[in-house]
Amino acid sequence: MTDWFAGEVAARYDESTAGMPVEPVVDFLEPLAGGGALELAIGTGRIAVPLAERGVRVAGIDSSPDMVAELQRKTDEIPVAIGDMSTTEVDGTFSLVYLVFNSINNVTTQDGQVAVFANAAAHLEPGGCFVIELLVPQLQRVPPSERG
């Protein structure tokens, strides 16, 4: 599997996403994370670190060792499993599993995306939430004359 986030991409990731909102995302997630939170595609910890700083028990899964190395430069308090978010497991269950910044698009097949949902469900405690942040493209209408 190709690590699209290796090397310079990982080293510059925080700089390249510096203009993206963090606090509103953390504000939204925190009330759902009373039983802990698991971030799929945790990367450099852009969301996980401030969530953990608020006292939430956070763990993560990420496929890029270089991205996780950037996270570990910030803190060693967040355990991270290196692997595919559709199959990699971590110990314990959580009241929240989340996947933000369109990262579900890194899984390019429907079967793979379904596996991500199944893996998230396997890590949730009863009544827990799976939150995905995803851009929904603008609806495009096909005129009746062009329909097949």
- Give the model's confidence band at 145: pLDDT under 50 very low, under 70 low, under 90 confident, else very high: confident
pLDDT in the model for residue 10: 86
For 19-36, write each residue's pLDDT tens digit: 889 999 999 999 999 999
The mean predicted confidence, pLDDT, of the chain is 93
- Using alpha carbons only, what angle is made at residue 124 by residues 106 and 136, rounded to the nearest 5 degrees? 35
Q: Please tell me which residue, 52 or 17, carries the higher pLDDT value.
A: 52
- Indicate the burial class of 67 (C-beta count within 10 angstroms; 0-12, 13-18, 19 or more): buried
> pLDDT tens-digit profile of 80-122?
999 999 999 999 999 999 999 889 888 989 999 999 999 999 9
User: In terms of C-beta density within 10 A (0-12 exposed, 13-18 middle, 19 or more buried), how is residue 9 classed?
Assistant: middle
Q: Report yes or no: 77 and 45 within 8 Å, Cβ to Cβ.
A: no
Beta bridge partners of 97: 38, 130
Domain residue ranges of the chain, discontinuous segments joined by +: 21-133
Indicate the burial class of 5 (C-beta count within 10 angstroms; 0-12, 13-18, 19 or more): buried
CATH placement of domain 21-133: 3.40.50.150
